């Protein structure tokens, strides 16, 4: 008789990811959905409630059937890669407890993932956008100041949107410590222009920001990423921005433009908070022409 239910094992695994491995809440939520998706598929596939014994007897073809089912339901290769990673992580958790064998799941090949390059916003377009007198004609002045400060921060520092929205007003200085993915700290330096725009926003904001989050909404509560993306969807139309202009596109633009102007990959890696250099290298594939210009202008033999 099994004393612990599968749901208890899943709960224990997710707690390990959060506490010991410092996974973000976003990743934990995605992994939970992926494993529950597998559990639901398996229940329908076998016609039984899922038990540890069923997991122990799974064959490679069972995992492949699950992935095929996801593909037939329209889920993308990227989504399926993540789902398989989540499932393997859960199975490794069980294997560490000597509850399961990994031979079958380790035989499942990861779905092929085409290289999706990040799409930056053109340099002149993003600079013009950041220097607009207003974004929406009927916005209160402090909302315009807020958005200008936020978008400038995203582009000039390469922050993820949630990193920016988690900044407290008391943290604002020439340097700010950012808590990134995996709960890893990094220091960002605020350009004088960005610091000026943040201070302008603080002065114009009708709410007391001194004891809370820097960026707030109309009711004075913490600003959420979903609202920022919703506003950007409308701004794309009003100001003729490209379809891919999103909060994350400002981060892509930051990295791309730095590399196009000669910044080295290691420095950009540190600024972005990437754990692996391979995550930063994708930006070198965006504009081969500019990269070749940098190479030609910086190689020692070219200067002779």
C-alpha distances (whole Å) from 267 to each of 122, 259, 264, 270, 272 are 22, 10, 6, 5, 9
| Separation CA 192–CA 80 (nearest Å) | 43
Look at domain 123-298 and name its CATH class: mainly alpha
**Domain ranges in the chain?**
6-106, 123-298
pTM: 0.62
pLDDT in tens, 67-97: 998 988 888 887 888 899 999 999 999 999 9
Q: Which CATH architecture has domain 6-106?
A: Orthogonal Bundle (1.10)
What is the pLDDT of the chain when averaged over all its residues?
Answer: 85
Residue 283 has pLDDT above 70, yes or no: no
Which residues does the annotation mark as catalytic?
A: 160, 181, 248, 251, 274, 283
Secondary structure (DSSP) of 27-55: HHHHHHHHHHHHHHHHHHHHSS---HHHH
pLDDT category of residue 20 using cuts at 50, 70 and 90:
confident
Query: What confidence tens digit (pLDDT) does each residue in 173-188 have?
Result: 888 888 777 677 888 8
Question: Residue 212 and residue 166: Cα distance in Å, rounded?
Answer: 10
Task: Calculate the CA 198 to chain-centre distance.
Answer: 23
- Mean pLDDT value of segment 37-56: 88
118-170 per-position pLDDT tens digit = 688 899 999 999 999 999 888 999 999 999 999 999 999 889 899 999 999 99
Q: Could you tell me the pLDDT band of residue 287, with boundaries at 50, 70 and 90?
A: low
């Amino acid at each position: 008789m099994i004393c612990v239910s599968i749901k208890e094992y899943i709960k224990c695994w997710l707690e390990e990811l959060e506490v010991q491995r410092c996974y973000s809440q976003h990743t934990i939520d995605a992994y939970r959905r992926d494993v529950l998706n597998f559990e639901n598929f398996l229940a329908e596939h076998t016609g039984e409630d899922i038990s540890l014994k069923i997991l122990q007897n799974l064959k490679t073809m069972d995992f492949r059937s699950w992935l095929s089912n996801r593909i037939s339901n329209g889920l993308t290769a990227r989504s399926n890669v993540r789902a398989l990673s989540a499932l393997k992580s859960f199975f490794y958790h069980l294997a560490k407890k000597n509850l399961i064998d990994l031979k079958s799941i380790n035989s499942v090949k990861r779905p092929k993932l085409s290289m999706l390059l990040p799409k930056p916003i053109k340099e002149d377009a993003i600079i013009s956008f950041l220097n607009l007198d207003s974004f929406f004609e009927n916005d209160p002045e402090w909302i315009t100041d807020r958005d200008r400060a936020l978008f400038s921060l995203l582009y000039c520092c390469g922050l993820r949107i949630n990193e920016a929205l988690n900044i407290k007003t008391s943290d604002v200085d020439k340097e700010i410590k950012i808590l990134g993915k995996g709960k890893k700290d990094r220091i960002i330096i605020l350009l004088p222009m960005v610091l000026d725009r943040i201070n302008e926003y603080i002065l114009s904001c009708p709410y007391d920001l001194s004891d809370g989050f820097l960026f707030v909404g109309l009711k004075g509560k913490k600003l959420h990423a979903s609202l920022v993306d919703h506003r950007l969807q409308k701004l794309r139309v009003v100001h003729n921005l490209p379809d891919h202009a999103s909060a994350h596109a400002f981060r892509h633009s930051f990295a791309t433009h730095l590399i196009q102007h000669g910044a080295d990959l290691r420095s950009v890696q540190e600024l972005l908070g990437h754990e692996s250099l391979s995550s930063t290298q994708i930006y070198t594939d965006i504009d081969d022409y500019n990269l070749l210009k940098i190479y030609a202008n910086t190689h020692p033999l070219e200067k002779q």
